[in-house]
Structure 1
């Protein structure tokens, strides 16, 4: 039993001496006296050697985990007051996505919608997400259809018509031009859907 305790104490002392003498590659350190091991413990008490873990024997220093950087830092309480490579957590980089710009002005044309009086087609100009202008590219023509179409165009189209004011296809029906109003709104709604 006594031999086993002496063997453990001797092993602990020699391991400590190796750890102290072996430094990081390229660095020289002076050997320091190893304090004597504890007095032989009384029977029944286990020997608790004060041994630092031995470094890896691969010859190359272990690389830190991804996301961490190895920086030398002073470790308080070391016998030589030296430095040790201790991984420190690097602050994560915050990146913000650039806001999506929708300020480009573009023109969107709705489909041709046919009713019993003729064809209706609407084109809108959009700046960002806002409708800035509406134009009737095609409206029924001939006889009373021309008068109805002019009233629908005057109420809905332009830069100050109902389309720009309401920013939607939810428009008041022009009296006496119900079919043309409905066709205008359908073509307009399709153009708004394309612009989104």
Structure 2
């Protein structure tokens, strides 16, 4: 009898946990949902050169620098025919060895996920939430420039 109660309780907890998970949104380059705003005190920088102009969505666009608790994060997004093909990290927190370690494992994962999702709407990397937030905000501003 005790085993049945423990098993039922465990299964119930698992079902409740699974139902509580937030489903992912469909990725879009234009950015679904609410717009992201740059961090206070960060000034917009001019976008990088565009080879064919924003109408075609081809070129490299520099995102806003986003100040985080551990340093500034800034990226540049490269689009070809409206498709995100590369993300280059221009600035990342690097004040100490721990910041460099976190950036070293988080930024490649964020870049891979952004290119796969074709969007800035990506999951944060565990242990690098501030860097992840700065990355996605800077990337979204670059994508906004590409579609302006």
Band of TM-score, shorter chain: 0.5 to 0.7
Residue 115 of structure 2 corresponds to 164
Instruction: Tell me the TM-score normalized by structure 2.
Output: 0.59
Residues 110, 125 of structure 2: 8 Å contact kept: no
Residues 58, 82 of structure 2: 8 Å contact kept: no
> How far apart are the structure 1 equivalents of 2:124 and 2:110?
10
Aligned residues: 92
Residues 113, 120 of structure 1: 8 Å contact kept: yes
Identify the structure with bigger relative contact order (alpha carbons < 8 Å, sequence gap 6+). 2
Deviation at 1:151, TM superposition (A): 1.5
1:114 to 38, 44, 67: 67
1:146 to 66, 80, 100: 100
Q: In proportion to residue count, which structure has more helix?
A: 2
Residue 195 of structure 1 corresponds to 146
Instruction: Tell me the TM-score normalized by structure 1.
Output: 0.45
State the 4+ residue runs in structure 1 displaced beyond 2 angstroms. Answer: none
**Unmatched 5+ stretches in structure 2:** 1-54
Residues 134, 156 of structure 1: 8 Å contact kept: no
